[in-house]
Structure 1
Amino acid sequence: MEYPQSYSLGNGSLWQNVKSKWNNMPVPISCSLYLLKENRFYIDISVNELIDVVFTMFPAYGYFSKKGKLYYLKDISSGAELVLEEIKHSNLLVKKGFCFMENELFHKDEYIYDSDEGALNFDEDVVKSKNREIDFKENKKPEPVPLQLGVYRNGDISLFLEVGFHYKIFFSSESPLCLLSEGKWEKEGNVLKLYTPSLDYTFLVLISSSGKLKMIRFPNCGYPDWVYELTIEYPFIMR
């Protein structure tokens, strides 16, 4: 197969009988997958909430490999692996992915849309990912650090830490819009672990003494700042 190739999430003209929750979003929103040269890939989400105003994020980007009919996409930011299966008409069925992608279909575009590839620095972000892992090993502590439950935010990404050890990660523009991940959280010392069943994977976070969250393995979506601050505090709830 020659690259680049582009795909759009949701129902294509060949799949009108397929029910897609993605096609029933409350605002105009699109999601595209690009398979690029040198086995690179990225997924972008674009939201049209206002006239001539488009919000764009990159929930996953990195490198892919193909074995038979399966594509394995390794996300640089989170370290998670997405799995897509090639089916008839060269479309890709999501076997493992973020929550909004579950059981959805990427249908192949007839024409290659404009690419935002230049907005991402793959090689540099691989180095930054390795540095975060070093930071994690050097700074994780067995001593417990207080964790305030509530909503933590960086740019348009919000992490909801809720009672019952449940969490959700949303892409938000004006309000929570696209569910990236949900699952269970647990805390060990100053380390916060977020397990997501849809990916069968655990994100890692360091809790600072100031109460801010420093993401280590997380769908940070291309934002340069990996520190999330508490924006909504759940009263009297600490862990």
Structure 2
Amino acid sequence: MLKSFYNLKKTLVQIYELKNSFFEKNISCYLEMINNREYCIYFIIGPGDDRLILFLSFGSMSVKGSSIFLTDIGSNSTLILEKRNNIDLFVKKGFKLMHGKYFIYVDESDSFTHKSILDINGESEKRKKKVEDYLSLINSDRIPLQLGVYDNGYVYLDININFNFRIYYLIERKVFLLSEGKWMKDGNKLQLYDSCLDYYFLLLIDSGSLISVYFPNEINESDRYYLVKNGLYAFIMR
């Protein structure tokens, strides 16, 4: 018998799967909530020992009434889930690929599945130090921005001349959209507004690359995004 939402504190880890997420048999998306204090959302691609695991979002969490607030370490954005039918979770605010969908209860466990790979508290402390260093580099100098497609591992950023952007995973040559919206530039700051999250991501423009400050990013990857396709666009100075 499934335990009620209000008894979640009695178990260590609750596991959910994103419903009807990608219509791909070999790709699934899971949420694990750990001690009602931390969470992790991840992809599993492929079967058995050959599977690939990609960490989409992880960080701290809090529960207020029927709402669950997830604070993503990489982007510093807040995802909001709402309890429905006592056990499943509706994504009220989240990344594009999950927004308006349900995480369906699957199981519970006495340990975090990926604790040998991901130390959430440790990642949080490392991120705070990096962000502090990056924010000290912000300036108003007129530094050029090359438009086009940038990547960092499986995560891609496409910024175009119409001031639109897309952030997406490219998995097995298929696009899984995390975010889209409008971008703006001020000095060496590149801000990307996501309407689903009502939030501005932040990158710094550097010579030949972009540095992610508040941005969804895969674990164990560099904070730098490098241009892979410029689309023959001009540089933007402003």
TM-score w.r.t. structure 2 length?
A: 0.88
Residue type matched to 1:202 in 2? Answer: Y
Answer yes or no: is the 8 Å Cα contact 2:61–2:71 preserved in 1. Answer: yes
Aligned partner of residue 24 in structure 1, secondary structure: coil
Answer yes or no: is the 8 Å Cα contact 1:146–1:211 preserved in 2. Answer: no
Answer yes or no: is the 8 Å Cα contact 1:55–1:173 preserved in 2. Answer: no
The match for 2:13 is: 4
The match for 2:78 is: 81
The separation in 1 between residues aligned to 2:127 and 2:40, in whole angstroms, is 16
Number of equivalences: 226
Q: Given the alignment, which residue of 65, 70, 80 partners 2:67?
A: 70
Q: Given the alignment, which residue of 89, 93, 97 partners 1:92?
A: 89
Alignment of 1:194-205 (within 5 A): 194-205=192-203
Answer yes or no: is the 8 Å Cα contact 2:90–2:100 preserved in 1. Answer: yes
Structure 1's 111 and 126: CA in aligned 2 closer, same or farther, altered over 3 A? closer
- Deviation digits for residues 2-37 of structure 1, max 9, x if unmatched? 221000000xxxxxxxxx4x2524x62100000112
The separation in 1 between residues aligned to 2:53 and 2:160, in whole angstroms, is 27
Residue type matched to 2:148 in 1? Answer: G
The separation in 1 between residues aligned to 2:190 and 2:22, in whole angstroms, is 34
The separation in 2 between residues aligned to 1:144 and 1:53, in whole angstroms, is 47
> Which residues of structure 1 form unaligned runs of 5+?
11-19
> Which residues of structure 2 form unaligned runs of 5+?
1-7
The match for 2:160 is: 162
The structure richer in helix per residue is 1
The separation in 2 between residues aligned to 1:23 and 1:130, in whole angstroms, is 33
Q: Does 1:218 align with 2:215?
A: yes
The match for 1:123 is: 121
Answer yes or no: is the 8 Å Cα contact 2:96–2:178 preserved in 1. Answer: yes
The match for 1:227 is: 224
How far 1:130 moved relative to its partner? 1.6
- Deviation digits for residues 124-154 of structure 1, max 9, x if unmatched? 2222222232223311110121111111011
Aligned partner of residue 8 in structure 1, secondary structure: strand
The separation in 2 between residues aligned to 1:143 and 1:56, in whole angstroms, is 40
Q: Does 1:106 align with 2:115?
A: no
The separation in 2 between residues aligned to 1:164 and 1:132, in whole angstroms, is 31
The separation in 2 between residues aligned to 1:224 and 1:105, in whole angstroms, is 29
The separation in 1 between residues aligned to 2:117 and 2:48, in whole angstroms, is 23
Alignment root-mean-square deviation, CA: 1.9
Alignment of 1:38-77 (within 5 A): 39-48=37-46, 53-77=50-74
Structure 1's 167 and 23: CA in aligned 2 closer, same or farther, altered over 3 A? closer
TM-score w.r.t. structure 1 length?
A: 0.88
How far 1:176 moved relative to its partner? 4.2
Answer yes or no: is the 8 Å Cα contact 1:152–1:230 preserved in 2. Answer: yes
Alignment of 1:131-170 (within 5 A): 131-170=129-168
Greater shift after overlay, 119-128 or 98-107?
Answer: 119-128
